[in-house]
Amino acid sequence: MVFYYHSTRSNIKQKILKSQKIKFSNFKTTKYVEWLLSKLVEKDELKDVPTSYPGSPSNARFMGEGLYCLESFEEAEQYYSQDGYEVVTLEMKNDFSLYKMDDKKNKLEILRTLHNDLSEFVESMDEESRKVWRVLLELLKQSLYEDYKNRPEMVGVMIHVLREVIPKEKYDVYSKSFYVKMKSQYMTYVLIRNKNAILKKN
């Protein structure tokens, strides 16, 4: 059995346990990518990249939309320093699919996708669209080479590209390590994209 751990407010945990339903983040990656493309049209460069879209409930989540979890109960328990937070334990179904973005083979697969599939997709566009998508393509390549250290929100854009633009297998769960400033350490975030992959919430 595989378990992931989601930290949330105590009153929300009680609602989750009672209803066995859990809300995913309401940040819309599709809207963010559309806004990002419109800004790249204006700038045509790779600096001052926006991290949200108008009306967004927050800045871009590192891995896009979904349910954010950690791999250990202890990490989730200590994630928020203030009182009033508890951990929801999520038991996953046996057949759920997981894509590890830190895996070397997966990194090479993503790189090949950018150089081949996405490049081919971009070159098939009209001239105006091609220009801005080329900038986004370079931004994604640069972010991958840097392991997303300067622009962690590009992980969410990359997942969106792999799922929606150049459709690959749509995995139930994605994982990626990040340096978390408020904890002064690297932590592996787990993003659940498919609610049906969760068997039970405890």
149-162 pLDDT, tens digit each: 988 999 999 999 99
Domain count, the chain: 1
Residue 175 pLDDT class (50, 70, 90 cuts): very high
CA distance 6 to 185: 18
- CA quadruple 83, 89, 90, 92: dihedral sign: positive
pLDDT on residue 41: 67
Domain hosting 178: range is 3-201
pLDDT tens-digit series, residues 24-55: 988 888 998 988 888 876 555 556 778 888 88
Contact 16, 36 (CB under 8 A): no
Residue that has been written with the tokens 């150049």 in this structure: 166
- CA quadruple 2, 6, 7, 8: dihedral sign: negative
pLDDT on residue 43: 54
CA distance 81 to 182: 10
- Percent of the chain exceeding pLDDT 90 equals 59
Contact 170, 164 (CB under 8 A): no
The overall pTM is greater than 0.75 = yes
